[in-house]
Amino acid sequence: MAFSIEVNSAKFTVEADGDMPLLWVLRDLLDLKGSKYGCGIGACGACTVHLDGQPVRSCLIPISSVGAAKVTTIEGIGATPLGTRVQNAWLDVDVVQCGYCQAGQIMSATALLTKTPRPTDQDIDRAMAGNVCRCCTYSRIRAAIKKAAGLSTADARAP
C-alpha cells in the first residue's frame, strides 16, 4: 500500500508493505544509503534516524507507524547548525576508521546535544551506549561530542 512520509523536509510517497521497516524504505526505496543495517534488532544503532527529533532505530520502525512524523537522516542532519557542528567536530577530531557506524553515532550525538547541550561523560555513556563502533573509535567519539558542545575534549575519567 502507499505511504506518505516526510524525510529531510521533502515529502515522498512510497509503495510498500506496512511491515517494511523505515530503514529499508530509506535505503532501498528512497535511495538514501546513509542509514546503515547492522543487526536488525535495534542492538547496534547503525540505523539511527530522528523521528520528530527523537533518535530511533529505523530497523525496528514499520513504515506504517511513521505517519506524519518528520524523519531526519544523516543526509539531512547537516541542515541544522547543531548537525553541522557535530559533523565538523567529527572531522576535526578525525574520528573515522571504517566509518560504517558513524552516521548512527552522529545522529545519536546530535539528539543528545539537542537535549543536553553540555553533556557529562555519564550523559555521553547513556546516550551513546546503543551505538556500536566495531573499530572502537570511542575515545574520539567522546572527544568529538565534547568539541561540538564547546567543552574541553580531555578525558576527565582518567584515574
Partner 1 sequence: MTALAGRTRAEPTRNADRLGTSRRMFLKASLAAGGGLILHAVLPGFARAAAAGSSAQGTEVLNAFISIAPDGVVTIAAKNPEIGQGVKTMLPMLIAEELDVDWKDVRTQQADFDPGKYGEQVAGGSTATPHNWDPLRRVGAAGRQMLVAAAARIWGVAADECSAASGVVYHSASGRQVGYGALVNTAATLPAPDLAAVRLKDPKDFKIIGQPLPGVDNRLVVTGKPLFGIDVTVPGMLYAVFQKCPVFGGKVASANVDAIKSLSGVRHAFVVAGGDSPQGLVSGVAIVADNWWAANAARDKLQVTWNEGTTNAQSSTGFVSTAQRLSKQIPAQSLRRDGDANAAFARAAHVVEAAYSYPFLPHLDLEPQNCTALVRDGKVEIWAPTQNPRPGAKLVASTLGVAESDVTIHMTRVGGGFGRRLLNDYMVEAAWIAKTVGAPVKLLWSRQDDVQHDFYRPAGFHFFKGGLDEDGKLIALSDHFVTFGTGDRVAASAGMDAGEFPAQLVDNLDYGMSLIPLGVPTGPLRAPGDNALAFVFQSFLDELAHAAGKDPLEFHRALLGTSRVLRSSTPDGNPQRDYDTARMRGVIDLVAEKSGWADRHSLPKGSGKGMAFHFCHLGYFAEVLQATVSPAGDVKVDKIWVAGDVGSQIINPSNAENQVQGAALDGIGGALGQAVTIKGGRVVEGNFDAVRPLRINQAPPVEVHFRITDHSPTGLGEPALPPVIPALCNAIFAATGKRVRRLPIDTAELKWS
Residues contributing to the site for partner 1 (CB under 8 A): 17, 19-21, 24, 27-29, 31-41, 43-44, 46, 73-75, 78, 87, 90-91, 94-103, 106, 124-126, 128-142, 155, 157-159
Calculate ∠ Cα 113-53-138, nearest 5°.
40
9 vs 45, 46, 72, 76, 78, CA distance in Å? Answer: 23, 22, 8, 8, 12
Beta carbon of residue 80, minimum distance to partner 1 (angstroms, whole number): 13
Helix (H) and strand (E) counts in the chain:
5, 5
Beta carbon of residue 62, minimum distance to partner 1 (angstroms, whole number): 11
By beta-carbon proximity to partner 1, the closer residue of 102 and 113 is 102
Beta carbon of residue 20, minimum distance to partner 1 (angstroms, whole number): 5
- The answer to whether 134 and 147 are in contact (CB under 8 A) is no
Beta carbon of residue 103, minimum distance to partner 1 (angstroms, whole number): 5
By beta-carbon proximity to partner 1, the closer residue of 67 and 129 is 129
* CA–CA separation, 52 and 111 (whole Å): 10
By beta-carbon proximity to partner 1, the closer residue of 56 and 87 is 87
**Matching residue, cell 576508521:** 97
By beta-carbon proximity to partner 1, the closer residue of 128 and 149 is 128
Beta carbon of residue 96, minimum distance to partner 1 (angstroms, whole number): 5
By beta-carbon proximity to partner 1, the closer residue of 140 and 147 is 140
Tally Cβ neighbours within 10 Å of residue 4. 11
